[in-house]
Amino acid sequence: MMDYKLKTFLKLYDTMNYRAAASALNLTQPAVTQHIHALENEYGCSLFHYDGRRLHRTAAAEKLAVYARSMLYNEQRFLQEVGRLPAQPLRIGATKSIGNYVIGGMLAKALEDPETTLTLTVDNTRALLAQLQRGELDFALIEGHFDKQIYGHCLLRHEPFVGICAREHPLAGAEADLESMFGETLLLREPGSGTRVILEEALQALGYTTERFHRTVGVSSAPVICDLAARGVGISFVYEAVAKSSPGLATFTIRGMPIVREFNYVYLKGTAAEDIVARFRALERWL
């Protein structure tokens, strides 16, 4: 079984508060401190330190968290397999573009087996990575950036990132200069969204920000963005799979700025999740 001190370490790592960690684990605060000191003595390195009254993680703590989370995930899987814990459904996460527009066929095929149970969580990249860290997902399908040194990963596919507008819009079907778009209303996803980060980084590489547009309107729903764009309210930038979902949309590209991004399976490195992903990948022909 996993050393309980490592579970204490992970709880403190997540809460960054000795009192909160102790409460969550039903331990005393001195017991939490004792567990952390024991790990530091065992590994010969500092894991946390105070700067004034603020607790900070060390570089060693960051590395240990990766290994400890993998160990905890594998332990939970083992206990389920030997009947010590109830079996869990397959727990999949997906960023919004992938969950809403890409993997429906794969999920439908998986559920043709009456013995298969699964849950799908659709959220932004930041939230899904946090759930992976907490062991709440077996894997996530991510469209945004993630640290490939920390997580296990494999490619689902490459996906073009295109502009969308109403079919009667002057940009429809065009390859246009970026500066010609700045008079438009930009329909923009919420902070933390993978698609928003992609657009912001592409603009930044050319010396611009989203504030350069005449007006920006924040919308956390891709279907609503597509509907507004189709109605001529503004323009936006989405994955090609999203653009194809609405017959009222036309697409355009930015001259000299082709954007293609990866869709990746992401999971905790060194865990049984790698085998789960391999089995799920057999369904990719149903995309």
Same domain, 197 and 74: no
Q: At residue 221, does pLDDT exceed 70?
A: yes
Same domain, 26 and 165: no
Tell me the pLDDT band of 73, cut-offs 50, 70 and 90.
very high
Domain boundary among 54, 81, 108: 81
Q: What is the pLDDT of residue 161?
A: 94
Same domain, 240 and 163: yes
Same domain, 164 and 150: no
Q: What is the pLDDT of residue 1?
A: 67
The pLDDT mean for the chain works out to 93
220's tokens: 């956390």
Same domain, 98 and 232: no
Question: What percent helix, strand, coil does the chain show, rounded to 5?
Answer: 45, 25, 35
Q: What is the pLDDT of residue 74?
A: 92
pLDDT, tens digit, 9 for 90 and up, residues 75-97: 988 888 888 777 789 999 999 88
Give residue 172's Cα distance to chain centre: 31
pLDDT, tens digit, 9 for 90 and up, residues 45-69: 999 999 988 999 999 999 999 999 9
CATH number of the domain encompassing residue 167: 3.40.190.10
Are 195 and 143 in contact by the 8 Å Cβ rule? The answer is yes
In angstroms, how far is the first alpha carbon of the chain from the final one? 39
Q: What is the pLDDT of residue 197?
A: 87
Structural domain containing residue 238: 159-259
Compute CA distances 222 → 141, 179, 193, 225, whole Å. Answer: 17, 24, 11, 5
Task: Give the range among 64-68, 103-107, 150-154, 255-259 with minimum mean pLDDT.
Answer: 255-259
Residue 185 pairs in a beta bridge with: 215
Domain boundary among 81, 113, 139: 81
pLDDT, tens digit, 9 for 90 and up, residues 222-269: 899 999 999 999 999 999 999 998 899 999 999 988 899 999 999 999
Domain boundary among 52, 81, 110: 81
Tokens 């999920």 label which residue? 107
For the chain, the domain total comes to 3
How much is the pTM?
0.82
Nearest of 23, 13, 264, 8 to residue 147 by alpha carbon = 264
Q: Which residues make Cβ contacts (< 8 Å) with residue 88, sequence separation at least 6? A: 80
